[in-house]
Amino acid sequence: MSEPAHTPGKRETKYDRWRPLYHQLAVLDVDQQDLRHAPEVIARLRELGWEVTPKVFDSYWKRVQWIADRCRGRVLEVGCGLGNVTRWIAGNPKVTAVVAVDRLADYIRTLESFQWAKVMPVCADAAAGAPESKLRGPFDTVVLAEVIEHLVLSEEVAIIAAVLPRLAAQAQWLISTPVGFMPDSDHRRGFGRRAFRNHVRALYGPIKASGDNGLQQYVACDTRGGRRRLGLRFRALAARLVAWFALLTRMAKKALGRTRRSVSACP
């Protein structure tokens, strides 16, 4: 499927560089290993800027499959882009509907053109709290796939605050992010493995499942008790304190390492 032309007069965004790649990943049958290892497919994606190999492509699919397999009921996907994960979420028979939200109108128009069953694209800024008519709950699953690294903490907290009233009683969050800081002009922060787990426990609730493909890490958090245990402001403060503690710990370890090396170098 060829990519539709951009809307005339549309203001360029920092995401446009990756749009052709995202489009390919949205429409390719990446669940098929033969396709993921096909030299012509690998070459096409490398031409679009992704330094992919068959091993990396398999890792990519592992992350998408992990998220899609754990979705259930009515799903809210925040930051859906062109539907790279949306398509596979909708293919899960346990999913009844997918409300796919992104703030880029051009992406949402393309997603609408795919006309995927069970998928309702919505152009909205989830952090601003879209009206209930657009994000009608309750939702059983909320997906934030490769989103939180693009946000500062206050933006992430705003999304959580907007979504919480729309959750079912036993809803779950599915969250993925790169392992560590990935160089990207739009990435605002990165998470080591331990920092990520502490962060999601503080903000989203207890972790009931987790995975890692070596490049990306992903968790499923259960909201039961988690969202009632502490107020959102206190949870945001806890997440901030956890992040500062992790940073200070890393700095202390580096300083200790330098001290040990200088001592061992003494005659």
- Rounded to 10°, the helix 54-70/39-47 angle is 90
- What's the rounded mean pLDDT across residues 206-223? 95
Residue 159 resides in a domain: yes
230 pLDDT higher than 80 = no
Is the C-alpha dihedral spanning 213, 69, 17, 36 positive or negative? positive
Retrieve residue 95's tokens. 């999913």
Residue 34 resides in a domain: no
Residue 136 resides in a domain: yes
Half-sphere exposure of 153 (CA within 13 A, CB side): 19
Higher pLDDT among residues 264 and 219, named by residue: 219
Residue 166 resides in a domain: yes
Retrieve residue 264's tokens. 């061992």
Phi, psi (5° rounding) for residue 124? Answer: -165, 155
pLDDT band at 165 (very low <50, low <70, confident <90, very high): confident
pLDDT in tens, 89-121: 999 999 999 999 999 999 999 999 999 999 999
pLDDT band at 66 (very low <50, low <70, confident <90, very high): very high
214 pLDDT higher than 70 = yes
Distance of CA 104 to the CA centre of its chain: 16
Strand partners, 220: 174, 209
Higher pLDDT among residues 251 and 243, named by residue: 251
Instruction: Count other Cβ atoms within 10 Å, centred on residue 185.
Output: 7
Half-sphere exposure of 13 (CA within 13 A, CB side): 14
Q: Are 207 and 178 in contact (CB under 8 A)?
A: no
Least confident of 12-16, 138-142, 228-232, 239-243: 228-232
Residue 46 resides in a domain: no
255 pLDDT higher than 80 = no
Domain tally, the chain: 1
pLDDT in tens, 181-204: 877 778 889 999 999 999 999 899
Retrieve residue 231's tokens. 């107020």
Domain extent at residue 239: 59-262
pLDDT, residue 256, reads 63
**Strand, helix or coil for residue 266:** coil
- What's the rounded mean pLDDT across residues 203-210? 94
Express as a percent the part of the chain with pLDDT over 70.
Answer: 76
Give residues with Cβ within 8 angstroms of 36, minimum separation 6: 30, 54, 57, 58, 61
Query: Left (φ > 0), alpha (ψ -120 to 50) or beta: where does 214 sit?
Result: left
Query: Left (φ > 0), alpha (ψ -120 to 50) or beta: where does 146 sit?
Result: left
Query: Left (φ > 0), alpha (ψ -120 to 50) or beta: where does 96 sit?
Result: alpha
CATH code of the domain in which 182 resides: 3.40.50.150
Beginning with the edge strand found earlier in the chain, give each strand of the sheet holding 73-78 in spatial order: 119-123, 95-102, 73-78, 139-145, 167-178, 216-222, 207-212
**Strand, helix or coil for residue 223:** coil
5 pLDDT higher than 50 = no
Q: What angle do CA 202, 74, 151 make, to 5 degrees?
A: 40
pLDDT band at 238 (very low <50, low <70, confident <90, very high): low
247 pLDDT higher than 70 = no
For the full predicted model, state whether its pTM sits above 0.85.
no
pLDDT band at 229 (very low <50, low <70, confident <90, very high): very low
Residue 21 resides in a domain: no
pLDDT, residue 135, reads 76
Residue 147 resides in a domain: yes
Query: Left (φ > 0), alpha (ψ -120 to 50) or beta: where does 54 sit?
Result: alpha
pLDDT band at 233 (very low <50, low <70, confident <90, very high): low
- What's the rounded mean pLDDT across residues 177-182? 89
Residue 115 resides in a domain: yes
